Each structure stands twice: as structure tokens, then as C-alpha cells.
Amino acid sequence: MASVHLLGRVVPGEPKISLNDLPSFNWVAQELGFTFEFKITLCESAVDVECTLPQYKPEYLTEVHRRSFDLARTVVNLAAFCEGYGWTILFEHFVDDSGVQTPFIARDLDLAALCTTYTGSVDFGKILTIVGTDPTLMRHLNDLIQAITIPHESSTSCARAIEGLKHMIARPDSSDNAAWRQMQEALRADKAYLQFITNASREGRHGKHHRIEGDVTREVTVRAWKIMDRYFTYRKRGGTAPLPENEFPMLTG
């Protein structure tokens, strides 16, 4: 057997929270054909989720993180519900089966490559001024980033962000169909391309949570990232004229 750990903390850090004698949990990974066992320790707001499994491989980390986050967040949420505190949880380090500890952070370099409107400090201030003076756009951007920071949120968060951009582009009092058409024209993305994002999360956004295949959630996130990037460019250029056809090929499918 192998054991790995995700280490984190409850924030805000004060008042500190400790819970004793928490039960362990088993989760059957049907695709892998074995069972994960999770043991949660919460002491002085420090969180340690130990995952025991028959063997550890780096490709298992995504599942380890998802289940560890779900369980640790549930522990903290139940305490928050009882105490009335707005606690949340962050994982900051991973300890592998050989005991090596490394920083843990969600990062996707493939998504980073899709940001073309600004790079590093180049045009960052210009985009910051656009977003920082628009509270609604702030929320839509936050929704999008949640897609890679909170497990199981990618499809719902991406769809919410993209639908929000639709309302920002459309003329006031437009019907929903007209608003989608205006977005398609402004950002040069066809109906099927956008519907793929929104359709994947339809049931989840209405409280019917179900498992969505990983390749679907990945494609949803990639498409949403491209749309947000195009929206930033659209706003940087004034936010009135559609993006030019010679610079922005139609996003299709």
C-alpha cells in the first residue's frame, strides 16, 4: 500500500478550528479497479488529508485531489454551518508516497497559452483597468478561474462566465436568441461552439449534479478560455465593433 498527503489550511486562520476523531472514508475508483481510503486531520486550522491506495502514480493525483478536496471541504462546511463562520479551505502542499513534499497549485500551461490579449506585463494594466472598473466582468472572470481551482466546478463555472459575457455584449432588452447571435458575431464563434459550453452544465446548473466525462470538461474549459480571451480583445478595441474576420477565424463546432 502507498500513502500520499495533501496539506492545507482553513482560511481565515482565526478563529482556529480543530476537530477530533473524524471518520475515514473509502471511495471506489471503478475506472482504476481499486479503492482509495481517506483520513482527514484538522488541528488548529491545519488540514492533512491522507490518501491510502494500492500504489501511487502521478496520473492519480487529479483524482486524489478531487476526492480530498470534496471531503475536507465537507468537514469545514459542516463546521461553518454550525458555527456561522465563512470558512473555506486551501491545499498548499503535496507529499508523495516517498515522503517528498512539494508546493501544490492548480496550473494549466495549455490554458495559459490561449491568453493572447496580454502577456505578462504587456497590456496587463490596460486589461486590468477594463476589468477592475466593471464589477460584473470581475465576477465572470472569477467564475472562469474557478474552473481550474475548484474540483467539479469547471463545466458550471465556464457556462456561467460565458452566459455572463453574452449579456454584456448584447444590446439592452435583446431576446435570449438575439443576444447569442450578437455574441457570435462580436467574437466570431458559431452557435455550436458556444452551445457545447452551456449544454455540458445544463443539469448541474439546475441542481441535478452528475458526472461529466473528463474530455468534455476539458474541452468546455478550453473553449471558455478562448472566448474570454476574445472578449478581452473585443473590449480592448472599444467593445463596439465585431472582431475582424481576417484576424480571428471563426470558432466552429
pLDDT at 204 (0 to 100): 53
Q: Establish if 168 belongs to a structural domain.
A: yes
SS3 track for the chain: CEEEEEEEEEECCCCCCCECCCCCEEEEECCCCEEEEEEEEEECCEEEEEEEECCCCHHHHHHHHHHHHHHHHHHHHHHHHHHCCCCEEEEEEEECCCCCEEECCCCCHHHHCCCCCCECCECHHHHHHHHHCCHHHHHHHHHHHHHHHCCCCHHHHHHHHHHHHHHHHCCCCCCHHHHHHHHHHHHCECHHHHHHHHHHCHHHHCCCCCCCCHHHHHHHHHHHHHHHHHHHHHHHCCCCCCCCCCCCCCECC
Q: What are the pLDDT digits (tens) for 124-182? A: 999 999 999 999 999 999 999 998 888 877 889 999 999 999 999 999 999 999 999 99
Q: What are the pLDDT digits (tens) for 198-215? A: 997 665 555 555 556 768
Check whether residue 61 and residue 159 sit in a common domain.
no
* Full-model pTM: 0.85
Check whether residue 151 and residue 90 sit in a common domain.
no
Q: What are the pLDDT digits (tens) for 46-102? A: 999 999 999 999 989 988 998 999 999 999 999 999 999 999 999 999 999 999 999
Structural domain for 96, as ranges? 2-103
Check whether residue 80 and residue 143 sit in a common domain.
no
pLDDT at 110 over 80: yes
| Residue that is last in its domain, among 59, 80, 103 | 103
Q: Establish if 248 belongs to a structural domain.
A: no
